Structure 1
Amino acid sequence: MSTLTGTLRNIWEAFFPAHPTPTEQAINTVLLVLFALTIAILVWQEVSNRRRQDEVRRTLMEAAPVSAEEFLENWRIGRRGSGLGYGATDEAGCYVIMTDPVYDEAGKVSYEAVYVGQSIHVAQRVRAHLTGHGNGDVYADVRAGKPVEVRMVRCAPSDLNATERSLIAAFDATSSYNRTRGGSKAR
């Protein structure tokens, strides 16, 4: 412990000598200002990221959830080419598949499991997950009869990576079914 204390004292004295010259004072001031600016920038970035995550989550949660059963039933309504159903309105976007919603006393909802993804054809990709051609954990939940909700948010292909990353962070999906933090598709 005394070695650590001595080392810290030596580092302190190297940066802040007892009687600094004007040049040393100027250097120390510049270093201190740069350090403070770096900390301020890091804090600003963290606050901005959290605001974006909150905004994306809020936007997604404002949309009405669709159960997995309802999604699959409404995949194609009517005859082929009718323009009805999720299969006919496929666009670029991100999706969140949520299993087993739990509501607390305040009415806030949390989920047993969450999976977030993106696709140029978002409805097709969601259908793939729900029918066993995507994430195996999601399909296992559907097959087990657990309540599964789907929420989709449409966005431009150029925004898919950023939106997916924000949703994964907002729903803490890496502690659930997502293996990565997302946003790795080159578009």
Structure 2
Amino acid sequence: MEVIFIFFAFFSVIIVASLVAYNDYKISKLKENIRSQIKDLANNTLEITPEEFFQMRNQSFGGKGRALYANKYNFEGVYILYNVSKDLYYIGQGKQVLNRVNSHFTGKGNGDVYADYKYGDYWTIRMISLENSGFRTLNDLERHSIDTYNSYEKGYNKTRGNKSNA
């Protein structure tokens, strides 16, 4: 009887360990797929410098009192600010992404991003629209983008869940 109990206990441990390993594998594959999706989205967007961004943002549709490009084409999504000089990322979200990106490069957003920009670091900007991204919420798109670019540990995003600089 004791041998049977030991056998079943050992067998149970093996089953549980196998299920845990399989679950870890599935989670790892899911994270890998999400990272790939984020990178595909980012790679299929225009990459511009802050100077090109300002030029685009300030374009008018002609005539006095005409709307600026940024006012007409603002969108809900995520932006990826990349300090090429330091290999650091800042990921943020906004219901009006063009306004949020503008704030970081005009001193009204993340102070570290602005300081590095003003001191002459070379930057690029990518923006991902929530619409047709495959994500349901801005928070999901932003969270997975931050994870993909590791911008908590090696970037300007300081703490998880801190939206004060987003």
- Band the TM-score falls in, shorter-chain normalisation: 0.7 to 0.9
**Counterpart in the other structure of 2:54:** 72
Report the CA distance between 1:58 and its aligned residue: 2.5
Aligned to 1:104: none
Q: Which runs of 5+ in 2 are unaligned?
A: none
Taking the aligned partners of 1:113 and 1:50, their CA distance within structure 2 comes to: 21
**Structure 1 segment 54-133 matched on structure 2, within 5 A:** 54-78=36-60, 79-82=64-67, 84-100=68-84, 112-133=87-108
Corresponding residue of 1:46: 28
Q: Does the 8 A contact of 1:97 with 1:115 survive in 2?
A: yes
Q: Are 1:172 and 2:142 counterparts?
A: no
Residue 94 of structure 1 and its aligned partner are, at CA, apart by 0.5
Correspondence list, 1:2-41, <5 A: 20-41=2-23
CA distance in 1, matches of 2:120, 2:30: 39
CA RMSD of aligned residues (A): 2.5
Give the distance between the partners of 1:128 and 1:73, measured in 2 at CA.
Answer: 15
- What's 1:106 paired with? none
Aligned length: 157
CA–CA distance in 2 between the matches of 1:183 and 1:43? 30
Decide which structure has the larger Cα Rg and report it.
1
Q: CA deviation at 1:184?
A: 6.8
CA distance in structure 1 between the aligned counterparts of 2:3 and 2:143, rounded to whole angstroms: 49
Q: Which amino acid aligns with 1:161?
A: N
% identical aligned pairs = 24
Residue 137 of structure 2: SS of its match in structure 1?
A: helix
Letter in 2 for 1:176: G
**Structure 1 residue 65: Cα displacement:** 0.7
Q: Which runs of 5+ in 1 are unaligned?
A: 1-18, 102-110
